[in-house]
Structure 1
Amino acid sequence: MNLRIDLFGGFRVYVEGRAVDPGMWTQRKPAALVKMLALAPGQRLRREQVTAALWPEFEPSAAAANLRKVLHSARRILHSVDGAEYIVSAGDLLFLPPGRLSVDVGDYWSLAAEARASRKVDAYAAAIAVYRQGLLPEDLYEEWAAAPREELHADFLALVGEYAGLLEAGGDLVEAARAVQRLVAADQLGEANHAWLMRLYALAGRRDEAQRQYARLCEVLQEELGVGPAAETQRLYEEIRAEQVSEPALTTDLWERVGDLRVQSGNPSAAVQAYAQALAAEPSGRVHRKAAGAWLMQHRPDEAEPHLAAADGFGPGPAEQGRLSCLRAQLAWERGDLAAAGRHAEEAHTAALAHGDEDDVAAALEALAFVSHLRGDWRPGLQHQIERLTGSALGQRVARFCDFNHCLSQYQLYGDDSTRDVDEYARETLALAERLDAVPAQAFAWCLLGESLLLRARWDEAAACLERSCDLYEPLGSRTVALPWLRRAELAACVGEHAEATVFLKRATTIATVTPMARHAWARLHATAAFAAVERGEPEAAVRSVRSARSAAARYGECPTCSALLNPVGAQAHVQAGAPEGAAELAAAAARFAGAFASSGWAAMADLAASYAAVAAGDPALARDRRQAAVAGFTRADHPFWVDRTRAEQAFQ
């Protein structure tokens, strides 16, 4: 490579192997131009993007004159022996020639992808080493550097978390703890990382440090959010105090924990392998049950059934028997026996209420809801659950109960046979919840009603309903539901109120940070953030949201329903940002999702994503065909905003 640009840990440039003297960059603007180009997708920017970032207060003509001077200065600094230009002009574009360039940020993305593909500790360590002290620490207050810095930082933290999991899997508890310490330092409110560090300390025999870590967590949660640790973290603390946390020499325990981490990150096939290692070392009913769950996550009932039978052979207690019933419900619906699935889900719920913990109750409620969804009677099933929950304190189950049903409600909002009367059902549910004084159910119903009105572009009515939902969810705590805030952000973006959209996204991010339903919250958050970025004319920011969504899915698992909007919007952003290679991948994801459920709305999203992929591939005829199909689909779904938006899209003109 003739030109090397390093942006991590400070700006450094090498031309044909020689380091450019930092003193050459006495003027900040030429350096800023090179940095911006190095960070941009495809290392290319439109001139107006550069002038808007560097001289936002100038008139266009004055800003353009300044850019010409800065461009001349940067080219003079980057002079080459053979006279080649390292900043090339092509019409309105400025770009760095890709065949002669390397950038450490690009190296990071490549190494991170390689690490995630190989799952090798050394590969992760190599990617993490590139990051150094973060992106351009000398430009902390430059707006043009803020978004890429946040994106890289978020991905880096996800990468460090995956690295720590691998180290723990290999029994290297000291290095795993060092990695998790970086996560805790970066996000003091990340309770899961505090708990992880506590467990690693305890496993390594450092119980005093584990207890001090818990004290620090309690302090920061109380100061920042006014809450205490989750019940699971409190239980872990009590185990540590009682010296009940398993020692690292117990290989079966380590493999079981690795399997749990892999399930949490949405990698059930790797979890099965970890549980097999644990069972080979020391068979147990609990691990057999977890292995069955991992197989069922992959829709493999034949492989799950022997593990369920083996778990029975260990004489499970009543709480564990309830957990097995919950899995048997899933096994039954995988085989199409919905009657048996319903019976097992009821058994799981009864056992959870009598003998289980909050997670057991929530899992049973989810099973009951999903059985109702598969039977086509989700609506009366939900109302029946609301009646059964009357008078009980949901506690931390609020988020799981509401979020899971919010996810299932999307099938009502987008289903061709159900969307027309969602308003009526939402109002019926609201009346029931008000009569029973079930506040979480009221919040749920207001949100569902607001979503229905939003999709039909009835902005004022939707805004009032969603605001009411937020008002009801708010007192229930920071670990509650993010969806109404995200729908308010979506509505604000639709009507051009971009500042409000940002406020709502920030509030939703606070919830997503601590919610037990992170898989749903982060999926929709990044999808909504991408949509808001495109609507305010910042496709590069939307591309970053797509990358962040992938990182979140790798960490928390994926919810295709909650991230459906990401595919067409992300495909559009990739085309607009000059990075067309990502459009085809998103279009394929949209097609897979739309093919799994009869929905004109989701099919229209897939057609829209496919139209952008066709634009990227240089096939305007196909792009027009898919765009017309998208318009027809949005029309059938009664989504007028998307009908008008798709018709007006300039990429097809």
Structure 2
Amino acid sequence: MRVSIHLLGRFAVSVDDRPIPAADWRRDRAAALVKLLALKPAHRMHREQAMETFWPDADPEAAGASLRKAVHFARRALGAHDLITISNDVIALAPNAELDIDIEGFEAAAKTALRGSEKSAFERAADLYGGRLLPDDIFVEWLDAPRAQIQQRYSDLLRAGELWQRLIALDPADEQAQCALMQTALDAGSRVEAIRQFNQLRDNLHAELGVGPSAATIALYEKALALSGAETVNPSERIRTSLAWGLVHLQSGEFDKASEIARQTRDLALGADLPREVGEASALLGLASMMQARWPQLFRSEFIEWVRAKPAFVQHVFDGHLCLSEFCLCSAKGHAEVAGLAQELLAVAEEAESSAGRGLACLLLGEAALFSGELDRAEQFLTEAEKLLLAADAVAGRVLAIERLAEIALERGQKWRASRLIQRGLGDAERTWLSPHLIMRMQALAVRAAATPKMVAEEILAGDRLLTPGACQPCSMALRTASAIALAEAGELEQVDRRLNDAERIAGMWQGGPWAAALWEARGVQRRAQDKEVRALAAFEEAASRYEELGRPRDQARCLARMGNHG
């Protein structure tokens, strides 16, 4: 008998060349047992190790019963009793069969290649890497160590073999790989290819969050620009260089210099009619002001100046401030101040006859009303904001208005309406350079709006695929907590702790907003699912208190209702 198991890029099993349908693995723990044994040395382990891995908090009798069920269903899926054996309390996978596991083939080829220097050996080994280890199980904690080990092995292989394109596919923000390809292009006299590589790196470093190329990479880019003479360098290339240097100053703590470069670059982008670069320069300016605790004042002056002087570009300036406005302005206590500022901005926009400005002011007024618990008033402002921003083709602001309208629908229990709004927002989000942020936020609502357990699981999986290393961490918070709550309520507790630990780490880096309260609420749902009612009540009480401090009465009421629902 021959058993083939794929773990890289997907989970698939075949027995004597007969693929086992995915539906046969409907018992998650049966599949997990096969995965665990496939990764163990000699594909065997003591039953107590399996019990500790899968049911660490269960008593031995209950964990033993669960393990027997997992073995039973794994045997049924594999179609043969002796493909999972238990002898002297040791569980073994296919001890008397020919076992072919893709990860072992890759490991052997990688070790051979790394012992030598033959280019073809590196390429052959790299061809055997089918993708990330079990990518649909990214929050399964016992997979962390083997996943990190195999990915590091693959990275070492690519770096040693100078397989730069594959390394960039693994990590688009790997500067060594990008610089190597840029240098190769320059050596071949290909200015265009070197510039393309720089732009690819820049796009993957999230300039809107203050992350840019290093000084050495920028120097290579400038060398590429100089190849054919200064007169042939177009404005967008000059602007990208300037933005990159601005980010270097920001990362070095030279905030005044970064602000100066941001303003100069934005003027250049405005003159060259480059909306995205106007937004990126505004983001750089906003980040520098945030580091100096000046952001709210800057946002007010920016809004008024641009609405009055350059209304056609006001939405692109706002795009640059989007994450900052959501973080600093609309997620903290003091919604009366937010509303007061927005009323002032609305008056300025009406005087200037700016649809985009009016739409953005209505968006802020709608958000302030929503956070204050005034759903009808919020819906009125947000509906007007969506209409005005559609007329102005201000895509990012319009998607944000749709997101908030979907939140209102969920507050009212209208999942069907929320789902329609989410689909509309996701379609529009693809049209803006801020799509990674907006799609992440919409996906959090998609988890909450899913109508059936199957749909919830599908939306959580779709959300997990968005949580790449370069994803915007603040924008990921709602998705992380929504997924954790949905999993806990469904009794799928294995993945919850890891998700909330990640969320707590991010919340610690970005102090402020409703995240600490949301985390306490999610912990309460988790504790209740664990039958730890006293701890659950304490968590809900803490969440309610924090929501009260933030001036979010509806969120506070929800947590108090959770406290009343115990038993």
Cα deviation digits, residues 328-347 of structure 1 (max 9, x gap): 22222222222111101012
Letter in 2 for 1:359: R
Q: Give the equivalent residue in structure 1 for 2:539.
A: 626
* Aligned residue runs from structure 1 range 459-474, under 5 A: 459-474=375-390
Please state if 1:590 is matched with 2:506: no
The equivalent position to 2:215 in structure 1, one of 287, 300, 305, is 305
Please state if 1:530 is matched with 2:434: no
Give 1:451 shift: 1.3
Letter in 1 for 2:554: F
Q: Do the aligned partners of 1:571 and 1:583 also contact (CA within 8 Å) in 2?
A: yes
* Aligned residue runs from structure 1 range 504-543, under 5 A: 504-533=421-450, 538-543=452-457
The equivalent position to 2:177 in structure 1, one of 270, 273, 296, is 273
Instruction: Return the alpha-carbon distance in structure 2 between the equivalents of residues 124 and 391 of structure 1.
Output: 54
Letter in 1 for 2:427: T
The equivalent position to 1:422 in structure 2, one of 338, 343, 346, is 338
Q: Give the equivalent residue in structure 1 for 2:561.
A: 648
For structure 2, the residue ranges without an aligned partner over 5 or more in a row are: 2-12, 32-61, 79-100, 111-124, 137-153
Give 1:358 shift: 3.4
Instruction: Return the alpha-carbon distance in structure 1 between the equivalents of residues 29 and 331 of structure 2.
Output: 39
* Aligned residue runs from structure 1 range 48-63, under 5 A: none
Q: 1:591 to 1:420 in 2, by over 3 A?
A: farther
Q: Give the equivalent residue in structure 1 for 2:56.
A: none
Of all paired residues, the percent bearing the same amino acid is 20
Give 1:587 shift: 0.7
Letter in 2 for 1:278: M
Letter in 2 for 1:649: R
Give 1:506 shift: 2.1
For structure 1, the residue ranges without an aligned partner over 5 or more in a row are: 2-12, 20-33, 45-89, 105-109, 132-165, 171-251
Give 1:418 shift: 5.3
Q: Do the aligned partners of 2:524 and 2:537 also contact (CA within 8 Å) in 1?
A: yes
Give 1:573 shift: 0.7
Letter in 2 for 1:568: T
Q: 1:569 to 1:339 in 2, by over 3 A?
A: same
Q: 1:346 to 1:511 in 2, by over 3 A?
A: same
* Aligned residue runs from structure 1 range 220-369, under 5 A: 267=171, 269-270=173-174, 272-282=176-186, 286=195, 304-312=214-222, 315=226, 317=233, 319=235, 320-355=237-272, 357-369=274-286
Q: Do the aligned partners of 2:210 and 2:251 also contact (CA within 8 Å) in 1?
A: yes
Q: Do the aligned partners of 1:293 and 1:327 also contact (CA within 8 Å) in 2?
A: no
Letter in 2 for 1:338: F
Please state if 1:602 is matched with 2:515: yes
Q: 1:352 to 1:272 in 2, by over 3 A?
A: farther
* Aligned residue runs from structure 1 range 98-109, under 5 A: 98-101=70-73
Q: Do the aligned partners of 1:539 and 1:573 also contact (CA within 8 Å) in 2?
A: no
What's the secondary structure of 2:474's corresponding residue?
A: coil
Cα deviation digits, residues 412-460 of structure 1 (max 9, x gap): 3455465451111111122122222222222122112111211221111
Q: 1:321 to 1:483 in 2, by over 3 A?
A: same
Instruction: Return the alpha-carbon distance in structure 1 between the equivalents of residues 484 and 322 of structure 2.
Output: 26
Instruction: Return the alpha-carbon distance in structure 1 between the equivalents of residues 334 and 184 of structure 2.
Output: 49
Letter in 1 for 2:177: Q
Give 1:652 shift: 5.3
- Scaled by the length of structure 2, what TM-score is found? 0.65
Q: Do the aligned partners of 2:282 and 2:321 also contact (CA within 8 Å) in 1?
A: no
Instruction: Return the alpha-carbon distance in structure 1 between the equivalents of residues 394 and 306 of structure 2.
Output: 25
The equivalent position to 1:563 in structure 2, one of 450, 467, 476, is 476
Give 1:548 shift: 1.1
Instruction: Return the alpha-carbon distance in structure 2 between the equivalents of residues 279 and 127 of structure 1.
Output: 32
Letter in 2 for 1:546: I
Q: Give the equivalent residue in structure 1 for 2:461.
A: 547
Instruction: Return the alpha-carbon distance in structure 1 between the equivalents of residues 102 and 414 of structure 2.
Output: 39
* Aligned residue runs from structure 1 range 490-501, under 5 A: 490-501=407-418
Letter in 2 for 1:405: H
Q: 1:372 to 1:300 in 2, by over 3 A?
A: closer
Give 1:384 shift: 3.5
Q: 1:566 to 1:288 in 2, by over 3 A?
A: closer
User: What CA RMSD, in Å, does the superposition of the two structures yield over aligned residues?
Assistant: 4.9
Give 1:527 shift: 0.6
Instruction: Return the alpha-carbon distance in structure 2 between the equivalents of residues 391 and 419 of structure 1.
Output: 28
Letter in 2 for 1:635: E
Instruction: Return the alpha-carbon distance in structure 2 between the equivalents of residues 42 and 619 of structure 1.
Output: 24
What's the secondary structure of 2:284's corresponding residue?
A: helix
What's the secondary structure of 2:477's corresponding residue?
A: coil
Letter in 2 for 1:325: S
- Scaled by the length of structure 1, what TM-score is found? 0.57
The equivalent position to 1:406 in structure 2, one of 322, 341, 358, is 322
Instruction: Return the alpha-carbon distance in structure 2 between the equivalents of residues 443 and 363 of structure 1.
Output: 21
Instruction: Return the alpha-carbon distance in structure 1 between the equivalents of residues 566 and 247 of structure 2.
Output: 45
